[in-house]
Structure 1
Amino acid sequence: MDDEPTTQPAPTAPPVPGTPTALTVLTTADAEGKARELAYGAIRARLAACAQITGPVTSVYRWEDEIETAQEWQVLLKTTAARYAALEAWLTEAHDYDTPEIIATPVVRGSAAYLEWVERETTD
């Protein structure tokens, strides 16, 4: 018999009460029409409940060792933690940037009715 301990995967625990289940996810596009396509596509696929588009904004960043400046439109999507992986995969596929900005921020507090609506709207 082998005396080495075996490593078993930890069981998945239920969500801890108070743990954020809603997320806001930020991405950008270089044209308003592209931002609208990302917003509508995510809503249509039930990957997000809502999307807000703001812009233009000025982005300054380093790309391929050069400092660049570009006008962009921000898309802020409301989703759930359970739908995040699917939303990220969809945005990565739908986006025309080589490395799109996709940043998720947990919603720490919010109206219960709104958060329930986000949950309902992102359920298949």
Structure 2
Amino acid sequence: MSAAMIYITCENETQAREIGRTLVAERLAACVNILPGMTSLFWWEGEVREANEAVLLAKTRMTMADALTDRVRELHSYDVPCVVVLPILRGNPDFIRWIEEQTQSNS
């Protein structure tokens, strides 16, 4: 099994909690971590913008990354939410196995 960590930025901690709770409840993610209080600088509509956001980190199977991304896009308030899939190349085998046990199978 290959696992992934999905990096998602959210409008605020409340939105991160709502999206994170849904991902875990629907078994699209085994676990999420919320990091509030992030400052983002980015180009949007032709100018540099600044916003306070929250980071949501979701752990899942690599095979579920597309379904998780689609669900975040449905739930998110942004026109173009940041959802980036990062493969987990190594780690505690027991933790990787736990991710697999806690997420749905695509089969």
TM-score by length of 1: 0.82
Instruction: Give CA-to-partner distance per residue, 1:10-46, whole Å, 9 cap, x none.
Output: xxxxxxxxxx710000111111111100110000010
Indicate if the aligned counterparts of 2:12 and 2:36 stay in contact, CA closer than 8 A: no
Q: Offset of 1:49 from its aligned partner?
A: 0.4
- Hey, what does 1:50 align to over in structure 2? 31
- Hey, what does 2:75 align to over in structure 1? 94
Length, aligned pairs only: 105
Structure 2, unpaired ranges of 5+:
none
Q: Could you tell me how far apart the structure 1 residues matched to 2:60 and 2:27 are?
A: 9
TM-score by length of 2: 0.94
> Percent identity, aligned pairs only?
33
Q: Could you tell me how far apart the structure 1 residues matched to 2:45 and 2:97 are?
A: 43
Give 1 or 2 for the bigger CA radius of gyration. Answer: 1
Residue identity in the other structure for 2:98: W
User: Equivalent residue of 1:90, what SS?
Assistant: helix
| Aligned alpha-carbon RMSD (Å) | 1.0
Give runs of aligned pairs for residues 108-119 of structure 1, distance below 5 A.
Answer: 108-119=89-100
- Hey, what does 2:4 align to over in structure 1? 23
Q: Offset of 1:50 from its aligned partner?
A: 0.4
- Hey, what does 1:70 align to over in structure 2? 51
Indicate if the aligned counterparts of 2:23 and 2:29 stay in contact, CA closer than 8 A: yes
- Hey, what does 1:7 align to over in structure 2? none
Q: Could you tell me how far apart the structure 2 residues matched to 1:123 and 1:90 are?
A: 14
Indicate if the aligned counterparts of 2:29 and 2:103 stay in contact, CA closer than 8 A: yes
- Hey, what does 2:101 align to over in structure 1? 120
Instruction: Give CA-to-partner distance per residue, 1:90-112, whole Å, 9 cap, x none.
Output: 01111110000000100010111
Extract structure 1 runs of 4+ deviating beyond 6 A: none
